[in-house]
A = this chain, B = another copy of it.
Amino acid sequence: MTTDLTGLAEETASRLRNDITGGALPPGQRLSETRLAAELGVSRNTLREVFRLLTREGLLRHEPNRGVFVAVPSMASIVDIYRVRRLIEVPALAHAWPRHEAVAQMRLAVEKARAAREIQDWRMVGSANMEFHAAIVALTDSARLQGFFAQIIAELRLAFGLLDSPERLHEPYIDRNARILDLLVEGRQDQAAAMLAGYLDESERVVLAAFARLG
Protein backbone atom coordinates (compact mmCIF):
# COMPACT_ATOMS: atom_id res chain seq x y z
CA MET A 1 0.00 0.00 0.00
CA THR A 2 3.02 2.28 0.21
CA THR A 3 3.11 4.65 -2.74
CA ASP A 4 6.49 5.50 -4.26
CA LEU A 5 7.31 8.65 -2.45
CA THR A 6 10.20 9.10 -4.77
CA GLY A 7 10.64 12.75 -5.48
CA LEU A 8 9.71 15.85 -3.56
CA ALA A 9 6.81 16.61 -5.86
CA GLU A 10 4.99 13.37 -5.15
CA GLU A 11 5.70 13.63 -1.48
CA THR A 12 4.26 17.12 -1.42
CA ALA A 13 1.31 15.94 -3.48
CA SER A 14 0.61 13.30 -0.88
CA ARG A 15 0.70 15.89 1.88
CA LEU A 16 -1.59 18.24 0.05
CA ARG A 17 -3.95 15.40 -0.80
CA ASN A 18 -4.36 14.68 2.88
CA ASP A 19 -4.96 18.33 3.64
CA ILE A 20 -7.71 18.38 1.06
CA THR A 21 -9.52 15.15 1.79
CA GLY A 22 -8.97 15.74 5.49
CA GLY A 23 -10.85 18.99 5.29
CA ALA A 24 -8.01 21.32 6.25
CA LEU A 25 -8.51 23.03 2.91
CA PRO A 26 -12.22 23.56 2.27
CA PRO A 27 -13.70 23.09 -1.21
CA GLY A 28 -13.67 26.25 -3.22
CA GLN A 29 -10.59 27.50 -1.41
CA ARG A 30 -8.17 29.26 -3.64
CA LEU A 31 -4.57 28.12 -3.48
CA SER A 32 -2.07 30.88 -4.09
CA GLU A 33 1.10 29.56 -5.65
CA THR A 34 3.58 31.77 -3.85
CA ARG A 35 1.93 31.54 -0.45
CA LEU A 36 1.37 27.80 -0.51
CA ALA A 37 4.85 27.19 -1.89
CA ALA A 38 6.34 29.07 1.05
CA GLU A 39 4.03 27.30 3.45
CA LEU A 40 4.98 23.86 2.20
CA GLY A 41 8.62 24.71 1.89
CA VAL A 42 8.95 23.93 -1.79
CA SER A 43 9.57 26.08 -4.81
CA ARG A 44 6.85 27.45 -7.00
CA ASN A 45 7.87 25.22 -9.88
CA THR A 46 7.61 22.11 -7.80
CA LEU A 47 4.24 23.19 -6.46
CA ARG A 48 2.96 23.67 -9.96
CA GLU A 49 3.88 20.08 -10.74
CA VAL A 50 1.94 19.07 -7.67
CA PHE A 51 -1.04 21.07 -8.90
CA ARG A 52 -0.95 19.22 -12.19
CA LEU A 53 -1.03 15.91 -10.42
CA LEU A 54 -3.94 16.74 -8.16
CA THR A 55 -5.88 18.46 -10.90
CA ARG A 56 -5.59 15.30 -12.93
CA GLU A 57 -6.98 13.38 -9.97
CA GLY A 58 -9.99 15.63 -9.73
CA LEU A 59 -9.12 17.13 -6.36
CA LEU A 60 -8.22 20.55 -7.71
CA ARG A 61 -9.77 22.67 -10.38
CA HIS A 62 -7.63 24.86 -12.56
CA GLU A 63 -8.93 28.06 -14.11
CA PRO A 64 -6.57 29.53 -16.69
CA ASN A 65 -4.87 32.72 -15.60
CA ARG A 66 -6.88 32.69 -12.39
CA GLY A 67 -5.38 29.99 -10.26
CA VAL A 68 -6.23 26.65 -8.77
CA PHE A 69 -9.04 25.95 -6.33
CA VAL A 70 -10.00 23.00 -4.23
CA ALA A 71 -12.66 21.20 -6.27
CA VAL A 72 -16.25 21.70 -5.21
CA PRO A 73 -18.19 18.44 -5.43
CA SER A 74 -21.54 18.72 -7.13
CA MET A 75 -24.53 16.43 -7.09
CA ALA A 76 -23.73 15.59 -10.69
CA SER A 77 -20.26 14.45 -9.72
CA ILE A 78 -21.65 12.27 -6.94
CA VAL A 79 -24.11 10.65 -9.28
CA ASP A 80 -21.32 10.03 -11.75
CA ILE A 81 -19.03 8.56 -9.13
CA TYR A 82 -21.67 6.13 -7.91
CA ARG A 83 -22.45 5.12 -11.44
CA VAL A 84 -18.82 4.26 -11.95
CA ARG A 85 -18.64 2.45 -8.64
CA ARG A 86 -21.61 0.26 -9.52
CA LEU A 87 -20.22 -0.50 -12.91
CA ILE A 88 -16.87 -1.56 -11.54
CA GLU A 89 -17.44 -2.97 -8.09
CA VAL A 90 -20.46 -5.17 -8.71
CA PRO A 91 -18.96 -7.21 -11.56
CA ALA A 92 -15.66 -7.33 -9.72
CA LEU A 93 -17.34 -9.05 -6.83
CA ALA A 94 -19.60 -11.19 -8.98
CA HIS A 95 -16.70 -12.71 -10.87
CA ALA A 96 -14.28 -12.87 -7.98
CA TRP A 97 -12.27 -15.90 -7.02
CA PRO A 98 -13.08 -16.54 -3.33
CA ARG A 99 -9.49 -17.33 -2.48
CA HIS A 100 -7.99 -14.31 -4.14
CA GLU A 101 -5.31 -12.60 -2.13
CA ALA A 102 -7.29 -9.37 -2.02
CA VAL A 103 -9.76 -11.15 0.25
CA ALA A 104 -7.23 -10.71 3.01
CA GLN A 105 -7.25 -6.98 2.37
CA MET A 106 -11.02 -6.99 2.60
CA ARG A 107 -10.89 -8.78 5.94
CA LEU A 108 -8.29 -6.36 7.20
CA ALA A 109 -10.45 -3.42 6.24
CA VAL A 110 -13.45 -4.88 8.08
CA GLU A 111 -11.40 -5.36 11.22
CA LYS A 112 -9.98 -1.89 10.99
CA ALA A 113 -13.44 -0.42 10.65
CA ARG A 114 -14.66 -2.31 13.70
CA ALA A 115 -11.70 -1.21 15.75
CA ALA A 116 -12.32 2.38 14.72
CA ARG A 117 -15.97 2.06 15.68
CA GLU A 118 -14.89 0.98 19.16
CA ILE A 119 -13.13 4.27 19.70
CA GLN A 120 -15.79 6.24 17.84
CA ASP A 121 -13.32 7.46 15.24
CA TRP A 122 -15.74 7.89 12.38
CA ARG A 123 -13.20 9.37 10.07
CA MET A 124 -11.12 6.25 10.36
CA VAL A 125 -14.23 4.16 9.84
CA GLY A 126 -14.69 6.02 6.59
CA SER A 127 -11.11 5.30 5.55
CA ALA A 128 -11.49 1.63 6.38
CA ASN A 129 -14.70 1.39 4.40
CA MET A 130 -12.98 2.91 1.42
CA GLU A 131 -10.17 0.41 1.77
CA PHE A 132 -12.74 -2.35 1.72
CA HIS A 133 -14.07 -1.15 -1.60
CA ALA A 134 -10.57 -0.67 -2.99
CA ALA A 135 -9.93 -4.29 -2.05
CA ILE A 136 -13.02 -5.33 -3.98
CA VAL A 137 -11.59 -3.66 -7.06
CA ALA A 138 -8.28 -5.37 -6.39
CA LEU A 139 -10.13 -8.64 -6.97
CA THR A 140 -10.02 -7.83 -10.68
CA ASP A 141 -6.20 -7.95 -10.77
CA SER A 142 -6.30 -4.93 -13.03
CA ALA A 143 -3.68 -2.33 -12.22
CA ARG A 144 -5.41 0.26 -14.37
CA LEU A 145 -8.76 -0.26 -12.78
CA GLN A 146 -7.27 0.02 -9.33
CA GLY A 147 -5.55 3.26 -10.20
CA PHE A 148 -8.72 4.71 -11.62
CA PHE A 149 -10.73 3.64 -8.63
CA ALA A 150 -8.26 5.24 -6.25
CA GLN A 151 -8.97 8.58 -7.92
CA ILE A 152 -12.68 8.09 -7.70
CA ILE A 153 -12.37 7.30 -4.02
CA ALA A 154 -10.32 10.43 -3.38
CA GLU A 155 -12.98 12.53 -5.02
CA LEU A 156 -15.69 10.87 -3.01
CA ARG A 157 -13.86 11.53 0.20
CA LEU A 158 -13.73 15.15 -0.77
CA ALA A 159 -17.51 15.13 -1.01
CA PHE A 160 -17.85 13.30 2.30
CA GLY A 161 -15.78 15.99 3.93
CA LEU A 162 -18.53 18.48 3.16
CA LEU A 163 -21.15 16.51 5.03
CA ASP A 164 -21.56 16.34 8.74
CA SER A 165 -22.74 13.40 10.85
CA PRO A 166 -20.05 11.02 9.68
CA GLU A 167 -21.50 8.34 11.91
CA ARG A 168 -24.69 7.95 9.91
CA LEU A 169 -22.60 8.08 6.78
CA HIS A 170 -20.30 5.18 7.56
CA GLU A 171 -21.46 3.15 10.53
CA PRO A 172 -24.33 1.26 8.87
CA TYR A 173 -22.00 -0.29 6.34
CA ILE A 174 -19.45 -1.89 8.62
CA ASP A 175 -21.49 -5.00 9.30
CA ARG A 176 -22.74 -5.15 5.76
CA ASN A 177 -19.17 -5.21 4.53
CA ALA A 178 -18.53 -8.11 6.86
CA ARG A 179 -21.56 -9.92 5.48
CA ILE A 180 -20.44 -9.35 1.92
CA LEU A 181 -17.04 -10.74 2.77
CA ASP A 182 -18.63 -13.83 4.34
CA LEU A 183 -20.76 -14.44 1.27
CA LEU A 184 -17.73 -14.17 -0.96
CA VAL A 185 -15.61 -16.67 0.95
CA GLU A 186 -18.57 -19.05 0.99
CA GLY A 187 -18.56 -18.93 -2.78
CA ARG A 188 -21.87 -17.13 -3.09
CA GLN A 189 -20.49 -14.33 -5.22
CA ASP A 190 -23.76 -13.37 -6.86
CA GLN A 191 -25.48 -12.87 -3.54
CA ALA A 192 -22.52 -10.81 -2.39
CA ALA A 193 -22.69 -8.75 -5.55
CA ALA A 194 -26.43 -8.21 -5.18
CA MET A 195 -25.95 -7.06 -1.64
CA LEU A 196 -23.23 -4.70 -2.71
CA ALA A 197 -25.46 -3.24 -5.40
CA GLY A 198 -28.13 -2.48 -2.84
CA TYR A 199 -25.49 -1.06 -0.56
CA LEU A 200 -24.32 1.35 -3.23
CA ASP A 201 -27.84 2.43 -4.09
CA GLU A 202 -28.62 3.23 -0.52
CA SER A 203 -25.33 4.95 0.11
CA GLU A 204 -25.86 7.14 -2.92
CA ARG A 205 -29.31 8.13 -1.69
CA VAL A 206 -27.99 9.04 1.74
CA VAL A 207 -25.15 11.11 0.36
CA LEU A 208 -27.34 12.91 -2.13
CA ALA A 209 -29.92 13.67 0.54
CA ALA A 210 -27.30 15.03 2.90
CA PHE A 211 -25.89 17.02 0.05
CA ALA A 212 -29.24 18.50 -0.86
CA ARG A 213 -29.66 19.73 2.70
CA LEU A 214 -26.60 21.90 2.24
CA GLY A 215 -28.03 23.82 -0.70
Chain A positions near chain B (C-beta within 8 angstroms): 4, 6-7, 9, 45, 48-49, 52-53, 56, 58, 64, 80-81, 83-84, 87-88, 91, 140-145, 148, 152
> What is the CA–CA distance of A144 and B52 in the complex, to the nearest angstrom?
17
8 contacts between A and B (CB under 8 A): A4-B64, A49-B49, A49-B52, A83-B141, A83-B142, A83-B145, A84-B144, A84-B145
Q: Which residues of chain B come closer than 8 Å to A53, judged between CB atoms? A: 52, 56
Q: Are B143 and A80 in contact (CB under 8 A)?
A: yes
In the complex, given contacts A83-B141, A83-B145, what are 5 additional A-B residue pairs having Cβ atoms less than 8 angstroms apart? A84-B142, A84-B144, A87-B91, A87-B145, A148-B148
Interface of A is mostly: helix
Q: Are B6 and A64 in contact (CB under 8 A)?
A: yes
Distance in Å: Cβ of A176 to nearest Cβ of chain B: 24
Q: Among B81, B87, B143, B148, point to the contact of A140 (Cβ < 8 A).
A: B87
Q: Are A83 and B140 in contact (CB under 8 A)?
A: yes
Q: Which residues of chain B come closer than 8 Å to A56, judged between CB atoms? A: 53, 56
Q: Are B80 and A144 in contact (CB under 8 A)?
A: yes
Q: Which residues of chain B come closer than 8 Å to A81, judged between CB atoms? A: 144
Q: Which residues of chain B come closer than 8 Å to A142, judged between CB atoms? A: 80, 83-84, 87
> What is the CA–CA distance of A9 and B49 in the complex, to the nearest angstrom?
11
> What is the CA–CA distance of A53 and B57 in the complex, to the nearest angstrom?
11
Q: Which residues of chain B come closer than 8 Å to A91, judged between CB atoms? A: 87, 91
> Which 3 A-B residue pairings sit nearest by Cβ, starting from the closest?
A6-B64, A148-B148, A80-B142
Distance in Å: Cβ of A132 to nearest Cβ of chain B: 20
Distance in Å: Cβ of A111 to nearest Cβ of chain B: 29
> What is the CA–CA distance of A142 and B80 in the complex, to the nearest angstrom?
6
Q: Which residues of chain B come closer than 8 Å to A84, judged between CB atoms? A: 142, 144-145
Q: Which residues of chain B come closer than 8 Å to A143, judged between CB atoms? A: 80
Q: Which residues of chain B come closer than 8 Å to A148, judged between CB atoms? A: 148
> What is the CA–CA distance of A20 and B9 in the complex, to the nearest angstrom?
25
Q: Which residue of B lies closest to A92 (CB)?
A: B87
Q: Which residues of chain B come closer than 8 Å to A9, judged between CB atoms? A: 52
